[in-house]
Chains A and B, each alone.
Chain A
Amino acid sequence: MSVAVVGAAECDLGVTGLPVLTLQTQAITRALADAGLTPRDVDGLATNGIGRFATTQVAEYLDLDLAWSESTFVGGSAFEMYVARAVQAIEAGQCSVVVISYASNQRSARSRSLGAVAEPALPEAQFEAPHGPLYPASHYGMAAQRYVEVYGHDRTVLAAVAVAAREQALLNPAAYRYDAGPLTVDDVLDAAPVSDPLGVLDCCLVTDGGGAVVLTSLARARDLPRPPVVVLGYGEATTNVSTAGPDDLLATGAIASGRRAFGRAGLTPSDVDVVQVYDSFTITVLLSLEGLGFAAPGEAPGLIGELALNTSGGGLSYCHPGQFGVLLLVEAVRQLRGECGVRQVAGAQVALAHGTGGILSTHATVLLGVDR
């Protein structure tokens, strides 16, 4: 493909006390500065989660002149989908510089709730919400319970994912849990239960935060200050909106999404040096790694602590601002540029970012590589 990521940045993370448009502005202007560009260069914007008309909201605030905008709203995988759309728009000549951004102040604003979000006019309000699911935790809890039963595991394989995420966060000064010290399997098992077998330490953080990435043609990218990170492939899958919807909870949309992305890139999982998969919950990581082909069904626990995975500390220990997808991309780009200091994966050439949205509802995979 002929499109590259040329800029990447986070906004302030954690508990910021800042308005969401200020956080969006930080993410976008920092990513553009990283790219050696300004808001005047931007003619494409993809974002969501800020008012009903997210792209227009941000465009007016920053006085952007957009020839292309995109606001697919499908949870945390949207940002990996935006990469695909941005590549297509740039290759088609509709726009030349795309910013993909996201920010949330959910921690400061205390806007996160545990309950169902079913709208009264939709079927889930009639056929799911009356039974009292935690949304999204109960869906992941059921997937986790089935996972451990079907494959003969126990909760420790889930806990190990949280332990590994914390180990990475201790290497990342930007991580919410950077100073929190290591986590043990027993810490995770003993934490307050949420939706069995998931406890609170199996669940991602609730923080402010966000980030942005900037894409343009590879030809232009080679004239910009940062080493280009080339988009090698992308794929996505949309599976279910309800908990009863999927036929098999353990066969997620990561299977089709990953197959499409690897197929488009002409790569296989063995070609990937560093993996960023959405860790909304510990179970999400295991199911995603298996769906993407890094391990056979039931065998992803053997990769935890071995694979170069979620090097930022992930949604579990670094940052989770409601939708984590854009930060998967930011970390993947930084790893490929060799900017990650003590957590750098030596010589990383190919990175995978895999977003998941809703209740394993949507899946999108992006493969990125250094410019050869």
Chain B
Amino acid sequence: MNADETIMPAPPQDPVTEPWWQATRERRLLLQHCASCERVQYPPRSVCTACVATELGWQEAAGIGEIDAWTVVRRSPGPGFDPPYVLARVRLAEGPVLLTTLPGSGPYRCGQPVALTWRPLSDGRRLPVFAPLE
């Protein structure tokens, strides 16, 4: 476990991101989907950056991706984190890149396929994290 969620403060949310966070309670990773231009974007925001539409829907990610880059964090960024742990950029099959974590302390490799899993937060929400498919 790379962070003790009983110590780490629960992440904030806001009216734009609340549906995204609520979906994590059901282990669903949402991406914003623009009905006007079909763009898929993450993280959620109040406008489609491709066509400036403001009516944005949601689509559930398949939960498959590949490691774009990774690093073993060796020092703690603050209370609630217990290094070493692996931080990664994961490129989802749908295109967007997420910052997330991988289990253990590596090594991994860029391009390695990974699948979505979840880490619980103290208030019932969850953080999307990933694990190797191989």
Contacts and interface: CB of A to CB of B under 8 A. Distances in A.
Interface of A: 113-116, 120-121, 123, 125-135, 138, 141-146, 149-150, 192-198, 242-245, 247, 249
B85 A132 contact: yes
A194 B89 contact: no
B79 to A, nearest CB: 9
Given A130-B11, A142-B69, A196-B71, A243 B99 contact: yes
Given A130-B11, A143-B69, A135 B77 contact: yes
B32 interface: no
B3 A132 contact: yes
A247 B77 contact: no
Contacts of A131: 2-3, 87, 99-101, 127, 129
Residue among B78, B106, B109 having the largest count of chain A Cβ atoms under 10 Å: B78
Contacts of A144: 71
Nearest to A134: B77
Contacts of A193: 72, 74
B59 interface: no
Contacts of B43: 123, 126-127, 244
B99 A128 contact: yes
Given A128-B99, A130-B127, A196 B72 contact: yes
A141 B71 contact: yes
Given A115-B78, A116-B77, A195-B72, A138 B8 contact: no
Interface of B: 2-3, 8, 11-14, 17, 21, 42-43, 45, 68-78, 81, 85, 87-89, 96-101, 106, 109-110, 121, 127, 129
A10 to B, nearest CB: 30
13 contacts: A116-B78, A126-B43, A129-B11, A131-B2, A131-B3, A131-B87, A131-B129, A132-B81, A138-B71, A146-B68, A195-B71, A195-B72, A196-B74
B24 to A, nearest CB: 11
Contacts of A128: 99
B134 to A, nearest CB: 16
Given A126-B11, A126-B13, A131-B127, A249 B68 contact: yes
B74 A145 contact: no
A95 B74 CA distance: 49
B99 A242 contact: yes
Contacts of B72: 141, 193, 195-196
Contacts of B87: 131-133, 138, 142, 195
Given A130-B3, A146-B110, 12 more contacts: A114-B76, A114-B77, A115-B76, A115-B77, A127-B99, A131-B101, A134-B75, A142-B71, A142-B88, A149-B109, A244-B98, A249-B89
A142 B3 contact: no
For the complex of A and B, list the 4 residue pairs with the smallest distance between their C-beta atoms, beginning with the closest.
A141-B71, A115-B77, A142-B69, A196-B72
Given A120-B12, A132-B87, A149-B110, A195 B99 contact: no
A126 B126 CA distance: 12
Contacts of B78: 113, 115-116
B12 A134 contact: no
Residue among A121, A126, A144 having the largest count of chain B Cβ atoms under 10 Å: A126
Contacts of A243: 89, 99
Nearest to A139: B71
Contact of A125 (B12, B97, B100, B110): B12
A146 B129 CA distance: 20
A361 to B, nearest CB: 15
Contacts of A125: 11-12
Given A125-B12, A131-B127, A244 B99 contact: yes
Contacts of B45: 123
B121 to A, nearest CB: 8
Contacts of B100: 131
A150 B95 CA distance: 20
A195 B69 contact: no
Contacts of A192: 74
